[in-house]
Chain A
Amino acid sequence: MSQPHILTRHMVANRTDSNTLASYEQSGGYSALRKGLNSMTPEQIRAEVKASNIRGRGGAGFPTGVKWGFLAPAEPRYLVVNGDESEPGTFKDRQLLERDPHQLVEGIIISAFALNCAKAFIYIRGEYPKPARRVQRAIDEARAAGYLGDNILGSGFSLDITLHLGAGAYICGEETALLNSLEGRRGEPRLKPPFPAVEGLYAKPTIVNNVETLSNVPWIVNNGGAAYAAIGPERSAGTRMFSLSGHVNNPGNYEIVMGLTWREFIYDLGGGVPDGRELKCWIPGGASAPWFTPDLLDTLVTIDDVGQNGSMLGSGAVVVMDETTNVVHAAHRLVRFFAHESCGQCTPCREGTTWLERVLWRIGHGMGRPEDIDLLLDVCDNISPGLRWPPAMTTICPLGPSATAPVNSIMTHFRPEVEAMIAANELVQGGVSIG
């Protein structure tokens, strides 16, 4: 199955030094910037991005053009790029940062021009030193080449980009926690409203976009929003990066046009499950997403189809689990991650995620009790009432409810297996490695 390259076109064509300015310019880099700044108005660029129908690649899938329309008029305004990528199984932004940092920088400059921001920040997780080095180098090269700084390409538009490294907290990927962290505060999500577009960084209007989202902007400006919208299904336009991992023969990042089936993705692109073992289940969109089972193999990989089936494409992390997976251990690993990463502000998440983690640990270690299943589900219900999709929350941000997804998934799809484990009550080894 061949897939078009949009985001990865430059790194695929140039496998050795795609991160350098020279190589980027050689394959047409910064032509979108020239076009945008010299021949388009900010309104025109915003219109193209809106027409592209691109939806945010950071997890929530919010239409980028619509979000940009919410930016309040107050000055100064900021553009913040979310490169915190810390969800287990997600490693797509890393490749974009490391292998094509100029594409991102170009996207940022054009977007900042479109949004009338004189200052942009890139927030990259602290565990990404190499991508961060390359992004910084790209910023420096761009500044030296006159793409950044004062009066860019004679357009009268000036922009500065500052790179900031995180300090090891997944929650700082949540946009308002990220803004707090940038401001030097504790990385805790803020109450919404106000939304960042109205009151964001330093209480000023701010657009937060994912690395991948903005990396698409140069192509959209060069080729037009309509051309982008024409790729893939209407409400899941464009190509999208997926990080495939777990029990598959060909793990890695894939840029694909949405609208293929899961079977095509996992078996044709991913090469299927190793050693001919049976597929047991998969996570379609990151650790927060409810799990899919093989009966859904022929449904489509689109934002809407996945949503209708009670899950999400989220951050694009697809984690495959085969028949050898102990689902209690797998769920425990994921819940442990959320408990560890909870910022601790709000009661249900701080207390509830740890409680879930400890009960799952007991069951996994031969100390389960029959009543633990209902207990787990009821604790989940107290974090995410009704356990419905999209989730309701008693919490401030979606991290707490995310921890209920694995628990609810194993109880929905594998309850007899959990019951049997509790009945046998012995320590079972094994589990999928994630996180």
Chain B
Amino acid sequence: MADTPQPELVTITLNGVDTEVRKGQLLIDAAEQAGTYIPRFCYQNRLKPVGLCRMCLVEVEGPRGTALVPSCTQPCTEGLVVDSENAVVHKAQEGVLEFLLLNHPLDCPVCDKGGECPLQDHTVAYGPGESRFVEEKRHYEKPIEISDLVLLDRERCILCARCTRFCDEISGDSLIEFVDRGNGTQILTFFDEPFASYFSGNTVQICPVGALTAKPYRFRARPWDLEAIESISMVDSVGSKVSVQTSQNQVLRINGVDSDTTNHGWLSDKDRFTLQAIHSEDRLRVPLVRKDGELVEASWGEALELVAERLGSVRGDEVAGLGAARSTNEEAYTFAKFLRSVVVTPHMDAQLDDALSDEFLAATLNRAEINDLETAGTILVWAGDLKEELPVLYLRVRRAATILGATLIVIHPRRTGLSDVADHVFTYRPGEGADTLRRLKAGDGPFAEARQALDSGPVMTIVGRTGGAEDPRLAESVAAFARTLPDAAIMPLARRANVYGALDMGVSADLLPGRVSVRDTEGRTALEDAWGPLPEGRGKHATEILQGLKSGDLKALITLGADPVGNHPQPALAGEAVESAEFVVSLDTLLNATSARADVVLPVAGFGESEGTATNLEGRVQKLNRIIPPPGQARTTWSVLDDLARRMGATLGAHDAETIMKEIASIAPAYAGIDWALLDWGEGRDGVVLPGPDGTQPLQHMPVETSVTATTGRFTLHLGRVLYDNADVVRNSPSLDVLVQPASAAFHPRDLAVLAVQPGDSVRLAGDYGTVELAVRADESLAEGTVYVQANMDNSRALGASLIVQVDAVRGEGS
């Protein structure tokens, strides 16, 4: 990362006291740092200041006497003389508050914001005692639904434009606007478009009054009854900082916390509203054991004895483990240790062969941090649609392109959320990625300007699988090229919340804890000193595991928060594997397509219910905190595995999560020096990027270019992700579940003509792994010969991720 230059200082006189501040810093911030808080409504530190509400007026001396200026728009210059406390300023502030309250309904007793409302607080601190307004207040229809998630009460609105600025500047979803003027000014959506934004909850969070409220939280709690704890969102791998807020052991609200390194305070609505899944009626509360074909409730003792017995009755290397990508590091470590040292098997995978290779994700050279976006000259995104897959990362890239002026190049099989703000957008047909890369490298034809931009560094490259059917070696080839660019920083992408952590913990066929290769004999010996003898050889990856189960080479499967039947690119294979397995045990929070077929299901603690750490897509370790107990008899994953080990005659030594982290730090080289105290209280409050303070990274992955041969066929498949898909957390969050749209098959209009189908007609798609029938849609952004299908939907899952698909129109009777 580039060094930040020393800021130039200037001296201002604030209320008679000379104060050194950063040159150009906004007065409102400089004053606050100097201990003088200036009241405000419209100012929000992550949005451009607009000076609308006039609450922050101060008196500034100028060449023509003093003037009242908003401190939120006043930059600090040498010799600036400011009075923020004299009678004129106080009168102006009191006046503004009185004006704001004229038409405010004062329905505080029934307002969600009551108790945490800047308008209430400022009125107590700076406001007039009594109202002098005897006229009738402004009236609007009480809250109107502006989207499926957000309600707007225009009577409470103070027109600070925080919500509209967020949408214009940060998310780019400009769906709400000021309408009308003067005393009739109001916030509204456009006539025919709801406020359907993946980021709508942020407007609710930053609204300084109760004008915007979120359906999932409305009338659920009073702020003073809430307990809160800081944690990390476990919805995706960005590692966004959140505040988890509960009352009576119910998580009622998740708000973003402003972290300079990750989310800047913003969250996606998926981060924010999947809290409903925590308290889903379908949460697993007691162990389940299959009897006469049915899963029935059992005691922990009975269930664990059964698992111990069944796992003990097969050879260790006939057992495989899948999952841990949504567990904490401490849980993932215990899982890896259990599999390698108690079961003694090398077969395990935190992924489902649906992203990039383990070594690429865990150990890439020149690995980027999110904040490299702040200094990047050029950004190359050749990955999934970030808005759909990693929405908060999308916000950070969008900021770099629109506010910081980086040149943005986006390459993907169709238009993405970033296309509108990108300088160069290229689309290509899946299967032709290698050719596209070759042309980009050569600066061929339309690629000339983009190629030139890649010479102005620093160049940050975000690389991932653009779709489920794409060859993962393409992304490695892109990274190999990206490494040659000036001041290169590379971010290889995977989505699941702690997939990077699980790989670092060694839940991998290729990796041992701490970014050590299984082929690294020195590292292996060191680990054997701690864990005892390890299984020989390289283990099987997810697909190989499923094939092994199907063929009978493998006998038993343990899943930890994973659903291969629902999520593996070859759904039929996964189904057959689970059917053929002699024994399947699932540790999970909800029943899914896999655990519903398991022999034993063990309920474990989920988000907010267990303490630990997680490692995000930068390799940043952050602390997750516990604020509620798990439901029913559910237990933490590590304690379940520890118990199981004991019943199998071994010991894991997992007494509590903090001790597990101490063990990780002593065993996993990249994690040396990491401990909870550092993350909770020390310099690591914004996380620590690995290798930790005392750590090293034995494995250095060097991406290599592999020639991926172009695949031919009439149609190739772009299996792209959308934010609201069939994920368990979405399906168990009623507020988001209604937003899930069925999958469709999109084609370029010319392909529609060739196929002689029209939007709304059906086509049958047949690939190597399955067949589905979908309604047809037109999408001009696709290359001809592409069919785009939304991945992981009820009606698309059976197709699987086969690059080549056969497309046939389904003709109704009589046509």
Contacts and interface: CB of A to CB of B under 8 A. Distances in A.
B51 A396 contact: yes
B184 interface: yes
Contact of A344 (B94, B96, B102, B184): B184
Contacts of A354: 182-183
Contacts of B185: 343-345, 350
Contacts of A346: 51-54
A296 interface: no
Contacts of B806: none
Contact of B132 (A339, A358, A375): A375
Nearest to A400: B54
B180 A348 contact: no
Contact of A394 (B96, B181, B183): B96
Interface string A403-424: 0000000000000000000000
Interface string A381-400: 11101100000111110000
Nearest to B181: A344
A319 interface: no
B92 A394 contact: yes
A171 B182 CA distance: 10
A348 B159 contact: no
Contacts of B53: 346-347
B51 A392 contact: no
Contact of A382 (B50, B95, B135, B180): B95
A341 interface: yes
Given A352-B99, A358-B135, A394-B57, A339 B183 contact: yes
A385 B181 contact: no
Contact of B54 (A169, A386, A394): A394
Interface in A218-258: none
B92 A353 contact: no
B181 A382 contact: no
A340 interface: yes
A340 B182 contact: yes
B98 interface: yes
Contacts of A393: 68
Interface residues of B, number: 34
B186 to A, nearest CB: 9
A98 to B, nearest CB: 28
Interface string B32-63: 00000000000000000011111101000000
Interface in A154-206: 169, 171, 186, 191
A347 B135 CA distance: 18
Nearest to A367: B134
Given A345-B52, A394-B57, A169 B99 contact: no
Given A342-B181, A351-B102, A191 B68 contact: no
A344 B95 contact: no
B103 interface: yes
A290 B334 CA distance: 80
A353 B55 CA distance: 17
Given A169-B181, A355-B102, A394-B68, A350 B159 contact: yes
A341 B182 contact: yes
A385 B92 contact: yes
Contacts of A191: 50-51, 73
A20 B372 CA distance: 63
Interface residues of A, number: 35
Interface in A310-352: 339-348, 350-352
Given A340-B182, A354-B183, A395 B54 contact: yes
Contacts of B140: none
Interface in B99-137: 99-100, 102-103, 132-133, 135
B100 A351 contact: yes
A386 B181 CA distance: 27
Interface string B308-348: 00000000000000000000000000000000000000000
B88 A342 contact: no
A186 B178 CA distance: 8
Contacts of A341: 181-182
A348 B99 contact: yes
B530 interface: no
Given A352-B99, A382-B98, A394-B96, A347 B52 contact: yes
B183 A350 contact: yes
Nearest to B186: A344
Interface in B54-83: 54-55, 57, 67-68, 73
B73 to A, nearest CB: 6
Nearest to A396: B51
Contacts of B92: 382, 385, 394
A184 to B, nearest CB: 13
B91 interface: yes
Contacts of A186: 177-178
Contacts of B51: 191, 346, 396
Nearest to B55: A347
Given A191-B50, A394-B95, A395-B54, A342 B183 contact: yes
Contacts of A394: 54, 57, 68, 92, 95-96
Nearest to A371: B132
B100 A339 contact: no
A307 to B, nearest CB: 14
The residue in B51, B177, B180 that gathers the most chain A C-beta atoms within 10 A of its C-beta is B51
Nearest to B75: A193
B295 to A, nearest CB: 60
Contacts of A339: 182-183
A60 to B, nearest CB: 14
B54 A348 contact: yes
A162 to B, nearest CB: 25
A339 B626 CA distance: 53
Nearest to B88: A385
Contacts of B158: 347
Nearest to A338: B182
Contacts of A344: 159, 178, 180-185
Nearest to A386: B88
Contacts of B181: 169, 171, 341-344
Contacts of A169: 181
Nearest to B98: A382
B99 A351 contact: yes
A354 B184 CA distance: 10
A339 B183 CA distance: 7
A343 B180 CA distance: 8
A265 to B, nearest CB: 30
Contacts of B98: 382
Nearest to A393: B68
A348 B182 contact: no
B503 to A, nearest CB: 47
A111 B57 CA distance: 39
A344 to B, nearest CB: 3
A262 B133 CA distance: 40
A312 B89 CA distance: 27
B54 A343 contact: no
A332 B184 CA distance: 19
A43 B701 CA distance: 65
Contact of A350 (B67, B135, B182): B182
A264 B319 CA distance: 108
The residue in A343, A345, A355 that gathers the most chain B C-beta atoms within 10 A of its C-beta is A345
Contacts of B54: 346-348, 394-396
The residue in A186, A350, A352 that gathers the most chain B C-beta atoms within 10 A of its C-beta is A350
Contacts of B96: 347-348, 382, 394
The residue in B92, B99, B100 that gathers the most chain A C-beta atoms within 10 A of its C-beta is B99
**Shortest beta-carbon contacts, A-B, top 4:** A382-B95, A344-B185, A351-B99, A342-B182
23 contacts: A171-B181, A191-B50, A341-B182, A343-B185, A344-B178, A344-B182, A344-B184, A344-B185, A345-B52, A346-B51, A347-B53, A348-B96, A348-B99, A350-B99, A355-B99, A355-B133, A355-B135, A359-B135, A362-B135, A386-B88, A392-B67, A392-B68, A394-B57
Given A352-B95, A385-B68, 5 more contacts: A171-B181, A341-B181, A346-B54, A347-B158, A351-B103
